[in-house]
Structure 1
Amino acid sequence: WVKYANVTKGYGVKYWEIGNEIPGNGEYVAQWEYDNHASHSATTYANNLLQFISAMKAVDPSIKIGAVLVPPGTWPDGIVGPGDTQDWNDTVMSIAGTKVDFVIDHIYPNPTSEADLLTKPQTFNSAIMSGTHALINKYAGANAPNVGIAVTETNGSKYSDTAPQGLFAPDQYLTLMEEGAFNIDWWDLRNGTDCSNLTTVDGATEYNDGGMVSSGASCEPAVNTPFPSYYGTQMISKLGSPGDTLVAAASSNPLVSAHAVKRANGDVDVMLINKDPNNAATVSLDYSGFTPGQSRPTVYSYKENGTSITPGGVRSATRQTVPPYSIVVVQVHP
């Protein structure tokens, strides 16, 4: 496959995952992934991984190969399976940690409420990412600084098609980047629903469809109609572009998330996410190492249950009012 893709066809595929959610192969009783190996242990996976790395890089030495981990602190982390002497992560990394180019986490927070979901980027992610960095530092040896973290699946698990997911999506993407992930993939673009569990969340229909856009099911709007997670993610494009730099941002209000980007053109852009469903948030903006210029900022907003991103708003570099359950991006010019 590497030879066909990168040598024969010249596709230049750079990143390769070896397997998908392999711990779901029945090694820890639960099984949703098919695995026809005689042994389903972490030891078997790690030794097979080494063989794949050797064979694949013999064909194309430029590729990067990733190992499947259990997100630290989530099931079945800490459980030792049959045929192993350590849990999944410690087994895989102790055998293959010096050979892998990146490791893979799938992050699903399983919230208990809307409010709980909106805390997860700052709480749930932090524990997983710090635990993953610790595994890399423990087992990758001198190559540890070069081993990346790819989050190849994530979403909010609940409230898939309604306002909370629209706020969660950009917060999740940006927080994971800030925590050191080089790749984040949303599950997924178009998913589907059987229309059997429709509810109402914050005045909008929840179809229980995990996609960013409608699949066109009988209960849904037309195929490819964006859900709030689509618009929330799209707001990231107003914050920054490839080649720009994430910079530190913090909020003293636990119901307001803040993210910032230093643009290649010298602008500093700020995203404010108001997670309060009932009250607007008045935010004072302070800067370190940057002074806003005389020209007024460009402002974009995405409001609760909106069907588009809206330009305009209060063009102030020092003070913004963010409506309930809304996102504002302020593009500040030097």
Structure 2
Amino acid sequence: MKKLIIPGVFGLGFVVIALGVGLILWKPASATLSFTDPAFEKTWNGLDKAVFEQAAAGRGYTWGPVVVGAESISGESYNGTVRKVAYFEKARMEINNPAGNKNDLFYVTTGLLVKELVTGLRQDGDETFTQLPPSTVQVAGDPNDGNANPNAPTYASFRNVVTIFGNQNGKPSSNSSIITASIDKAGNISSINPPETHSSSGYDDVTQHNIADVFVDYGKNTGKVWNGNSYLNSSIFYGNPTYVLGRPISEPFWISTQVAGSDRMVLVQLFERRVLTYTPSNPVGFKVEMGNVGQHYYKWRYTLNNSPIITPPATTVPTTTAAATPQPTRAVPAGKALNVNFGGDKNTFSNKMLGVNFVNWEHSWGKPYPSEVPGLVQALKAANVGLIRYAGGNWSNSVGWDRNQVRDPNIGWPDGKTGPYYFQYNPEEIDSVATLAKAVGADVMIEVNIFTSNPAMWADMVKYTNVEHNYGFKYWELGNELDAAKNGPTPDEYANDVSAYLDAMLAVDPSIQVIASGVASPYEATRQNYSDTITSLSEYLTKPFAVTSPKGAKIQAVSYHWYQACNSNDPADLTRYTWSNIADNSWRNTYSRKQADIFPPRITKELTKGTIPQGVTEYNFDACNFDNPMNGNFLNALWTADVLGRMNYNGVNFATRWEGYATQSYSIIYPDKVNGTTIINVSPAYYAYLMYANYFGDKIVESSSFDNANISIWASRDTSDPSKLKLMVTNLSGSDITAPINLAGFNASSGSVYQMKSANPTEITKASLDATATINDVSVDAMNVAGSLASIKPVPLAVSGSAFNYVFPAYTTTAIILTK
């Protein structure tokens, strides 16, 4: 543990001057900073070293000193393991992926603490929450300990005006509008005559909140920053304010608070990671400041709610060799080729491989139910989506079925304080899911809460959907990522519950298929502190598979999840095929595309013996950052085009991508507005679905690539048209590849080509989620996809015989349809 001593006075270790919203830490003085990881020290120094060493830096701290009392906290449980954290006055630093690139800005991230403080939902995993009381600490001004500052708004005051999921409580853009809104401690909104005139000059399209001009300007500030060797004059937010602040989750509000016992009006805005305050009377450079979110969160989590203090384990970071510099054209080694065996069937490629996840928070708080979203049916149908998993990931571990009333999320029942159900499937919502699925031609998979054991509840939902309404919901998945959940059932307890659920639900409808278990990781090692000595399958897979219920029932499929990275900003993490020197049975293969080659055969060989199907019910790139553009941009489209074929080829029978329709970056379809009218739009990743839906067959056959790291080939035939051989080739490299293609058992007389590409294929900014992708130079109209597909013209390919060469451009997926 490294310590930095800042000389000076006062208990908190700083010379303080009473200004604006409180004791403004604007003149460096003394504090002791303890760094439990060199990466934390590097991050702190980048922005705060100048403030610490030079009073002339002219700005306040971004991180500040370690929170008093939090020096011993070095780790917290998250996703079933322990991650490194450090608490500073202004925020919490986190390392979510110790195997990540230490030079990546996002190797150390800032916790989304403000969302937790406002809602009381302590986040224990990507979608795992523990309900606690919202924080009653004031957001700005004097501490409200005892009877001090009794009327200032607290975090809880903002509960009904913030965005937690999607664009809940979002507002239309009001650029240049004067900010007059004020919020009080009770959460009441009123209009006032502000002490200064300020307006909104920014707008976040995702959370749909306006940003005050003073905070927009603050995000553009430049000043002295430390690059590890010297000071530079640069952006104080690395040119990326979202990295430090997160997205806005509230509108800007004026509040009345006390500073040094005197009443002041302060402009406040809540962001995911920070609270920003503007105090008109503060000196230049310190009018805008960071709230003490880290200090407030520590008090809420550890002092008021007694969360346990834990220590992270030591980590071993896998190494890999540096990638070669891309060349204009990649040479193919002599004798190497892309090979296809037309007669070698490997698996059925059904439209259940083109499944998607829906999340019911996108259809709560008065937002349209799934079948009511304009344009959604035709977009899903054009992509041949065959399976809709509903709804909400780990949200489903707190969901209940209630046919009697409609409940907003986060309102617990039967007891509002203890739950156990904070989220609901209601009849109107489920009716709409059924309507959507029928119109699309897709089956439905319902996520079932087994975290709270209640077989009768879910048997009643089967009765509602399949007996009373004949919706024919075929698939029912028991639990979600219980291996990463806190205080959930053990593998043995889960297996016992599976037995009870099987008998209860199958008694209502014997035709349904019950699936277990949607584990976060199929490796037992990840549940056991990421041990490299444990190579077995997760017990949440093996134990329910062995169950035979009292009535003789068994599960009908196994399921697991796969995300390739966590908080990654490096495209190499997306395109990576394999790590060097990693054994095939190591959990570390999760972080490469080779996972799709390795794990499905293990499930078949070591568990199912092929007796029941296996599925991946969540997959995407970044498990930890729902805002990562690489979850849905064109690089993700290439990744999706590869891993869809790769998973199916190696034994996966069904797959549901995270997500199908939502506002997060994962979604292939998302809500949009044009001239005030709500429509849908599609991400570049949607095009990968179109490629498989329209230019691939229903039987995947044997194929091989000479270079899986850079180019993949998946081949298929159509049972309805034996004269066709359909290839899907993805070049993930930055070089064109001229590849020989050898066809066993098939002589082609003609061919046609459909190519997916982008003008800026490697862009990873937020804008890349909206960037135009094309198929044969046609970009689809999201509101009329079928019409767009009809306008795509095949490019003729002159081919004769069982071998030919083809130039696959860099960063493209090419579908080649060959005819005998």
TM-score normalised to structure 2 length: 0.33
Per-residue deviation at 1:315? 0.7
Deviations 1:6-47 (A, max 9, x none): 1111112221101222223204xxxxxxxxxxx632221111
Change (3 A) 1:228 1:153: same
Matches within 5 A, 1:298-317: 298-305=752-759, 306-310=772-776, 311-313=793-795, 315-317=797-799
Per-residue deviation at 1:190? 2.7
Letter in structure 1 aligned against 2:476:
W
Is 1:23 aligned to residue 488 of structure 2?
A: no
Letter in structure 1 aligned against 2:653:
F
Q: Is the 8 A contact 1:212 1:230 kept in 2?
A: yes
Match of 1:252 in 2: 706
Q: Is the 8 A contact 2:660 2:668 kept in 1?
A: yes
Letter in structure 2 aligned against 1:186:
R
Deviations 1:75-121 (A, max 9, x none): 634469xxxxxx98336523542521111111101075323322357
Letter in structure 1 aligned against 2:775:
I
Match of 2:506 in 1: 57
Per-residue deviation at 1:161? 3.2
Per-residue deviation at 1:62? 1.6
Matches within 5 A, 1:172-321: 172-193=643-664, 209-216=665-672, 224-241=680-697, 244-254=698-708, 255-264=710-719, 265-266=721-722, 267-277=724-734, 279-293=735-749, 296-305=750-759, 306-310=772-776, 311-313=793-795, 315-317=797-799, 318-321=804-807
% identity of equivalent residues:
22
Report the aligned-residue RMSD.
Answer: 2.7
Aligned pair count reads 288
Letter in structure 1 aligned against 2:489:
H
From the two aligned structures, give the one with the greater strand fraction.
2
The alignment partner of 1:20 has SS state of: coil
Deviations 1:240-295 (A, max 9, x none): 24xx2110111113311100011221200111101112x211122110111112xx
Q: Is the 8 A contact 1:109 1:156 kept in 2?
A: yes
The alignment partner of 1:176 has SS state of: helix
Letter in structure 2 aligned against 1:262:
R
Change (3 A) 1:96 1:312: closer
The alignment partner of 1:303 has SS state of: strand
Per-residue deviation at 1:60? 1.4
Per-residue deviation at 1:71? 2.8
Change (3 A) 1:64 1:161: closer
Unaligned runs of 5+ in 1: 28-38, 81-86, 138-143, 194-208
Is 1:107 aligned to residue 562 of structure 2?
A: yes
Q: Give the Cα separation in 2 of the matches to 1:316 and 1:186.
A: 36
The alignment partner of 2:641 has SS state of: helix
Per-residue deviation at 1:319? 2.3
Matches within 5 A, 1:121-132: 122-132=593-603
Letter in structure 2 aligned against 1:257:
S
The alignment partner of 1:180 has SS state of: coil
Q: Is the 8 A contact 2:565 2:573 kept in 1?
A: no
Per-residue deviation at 1:320? 1.8
Q: Give the Cα separation in 1 of the matches to 2:537 and 2:755.
A: 43
Answer with 1 or 2: which has the greater Rg: 2
Match of 2:442 in 1: none
TM-score normalised to structure 1 length: 0.77
Matches within 5 A, 1:66-215: 66-68=515-517, 69-73=519-523, 76-78=526-528, 89-90=538-539, 93-94=542-543, 96-98=545-547, 99-110=554-565, 113-120=570-577, 122-137=593-608, 144-157=609-622, 159-193=630-664, 209-215=665-671
Q: Give the Cα separation in 2 of the matches to 1:192 and 1:162.
A: 14
User: Residue 811 of structure 2: which of 325, 328, 331 is its match?
Assistant: 325
Q: Give the Cα separation in 1 of the matches to 2:524 and 2:602.
A: 11
Q: Give the Cα separation in 2 of the matches to 1:101 and 1:47.
A: 16
Per-residue deviation at 1:66? 0.8
Is 1:8 aligned to residue 468 of structure 2?
A: yes
The alignment partner of 1:126 has SS state of: helix
Letter in structure 2 aligned against 1:307:
A
Q: Give the Cα separation in 2 of the matches to 1:92 and 1:44.
A: 13
Change (3 A) 1:72 1:19: closer
The alignment partner of 1:272 has SS state of: strand
